Structure 1
Amino acid sequence: MVMVPFVAHGHLNQLVHLSRLISTYKIPVHFVTTTTHIRQVRSRFQDFSSHSAASNLIHFHEFRTPPFTSPQPNPSNRFPAHLQPAIDSSLHLRRPVTELIRSLSSTTKRVVVVHDSLMLYVVQNVKSIPNAVTYIFDPVSAFDTFWGAWERRSRPFPVDPGMLKRLPSSDGCFSPEFIDFVNLQIIAQDGSHVGELFDSSRVIEGEYLEYLEREQINGKKKFWAIGPLINHVDVDKSTFKVSNNRHKCLQWLDMLSQL
């Protein structure tokens, strides 16, 4: 398997956790991103050291991007626009990622590529590799994915008007430059992927996954809820206790993190 995350930690970390989960089934995983982000992953997750068991099944491939200059963060902006140069630099991964997948395809029967929904531009040439298939990984909720696709398609069918009224406006959430980057990904989406994976659960978001499946908002593809993807921690469950002082939602998340 080949993992192609987007170059932002909220996105990248989810595919790190998925890589670790897949590696427990003795399936080799090739994790592909920039040199900078590979270094940060290694510093954050100590079990990826050269002496760990995971290092035998999870292989990191780091690719350099052209130098860029990031402006200072502007706290008055809702969107971290200072990251845009780093985001744009990810477009240069298209060629090396394609070459890596092509090389892997020559030594194995099937290559499965799981890529962030914001890396469609980078993986668009994979469809030319006969024994490679791609799956889109949606790091955001099925709720968000549905509403975004529903709006892009000019609201093709009626939905709960009460929910529609409660949705906050997305105006000002994203910079014009980031919207251009997203549109580039949409243009690159040609429908050749097998389906979409969500870091979600049908218990939580079944309604919106069913919307996506029934109405085929994102094309006639399959959808899988494979989450929540969380960092596995080995603990003695008999001694684990949840503080009653925390909100019940946080207590629930505390319990999930120990499963």
Structure 2
Amino acid sequence: MIKKYFTPSLLVLILLVIWQITASMMNMAFILPSPLQIVEKLWEIGDILLTVHLPATLLIVVIGLFISIVFGVGIAVWMNGSKTMERTFYPLLISSQTIPIIALAPIFVLWFGYSIWSKVVVTVLITFFPIAVNTFDGLRSSSKELRELLLTMGASKKEIFFKLNVPSALPHFFSGLKVAVTLSVIGAAIGEWVGAQSGLGYFSRRMMTQFDGAGVFAPIVLLSLLGILLFLLVVYFEKKSLRWRKTE
């Protein structure tokens, strides 16, 4: 276990030391605060970040991911069951990723105001694609030989779906979900930057207007940690759900 994490931990430590030395030499904390200054800022404003702004961002992430999972899996199942739906929705899924989300965020603020839903929509647009596409690819990857075997054994379409298609799609679903959870944090932060009254992205932007470099980086650190924790949570559920699959 120690050997497994020694090399990445050493690399992170070296980068932090270089960052600390560079920031100390520049002595321009409003542009590049040192890691120690960021830690001091986190200690100073940690209460308000953890009790007010982190819950606001986490709520956006949870709602956005829930909507993306429901509609993403639903669209994937629908496209897998109908070639017409595949030809209809798949190009729309691709084209939805060609539009810069940061350009659409102000429009959502005009539509939904500074409510939570303007941020949720941004999060859904970012996280919906990897879940839908990966799940769809997983459903299509089911073995044709096994399908024919189940048909010869008298299995119904429902039984084939749950006993063959779903197990085949689960690894792909979790792969898409691992991408989506990290993107969800980015989506929430983008939405809060454009227009919000609370949240880690909002607080970072507010600190930027005050030329407080450490205050800008402090909520970014929490956003990064939130993304890592969500990723590890998905990995945990993946291992629990896919015990039948041999993994290292």
TM-score (norm 2): 0.24
Larger fraction in helix: 2
Larger radius of gyration: 2
Question: Larger RCO: Structure 1 or Structure 2 (Cα < 8 Å, ≥ 6 residues apart)?
Answer: 2
TM (norm. structure 1) is 0.23
Q: Determine which structure has the larger strand proportion and give its number.
A: 1
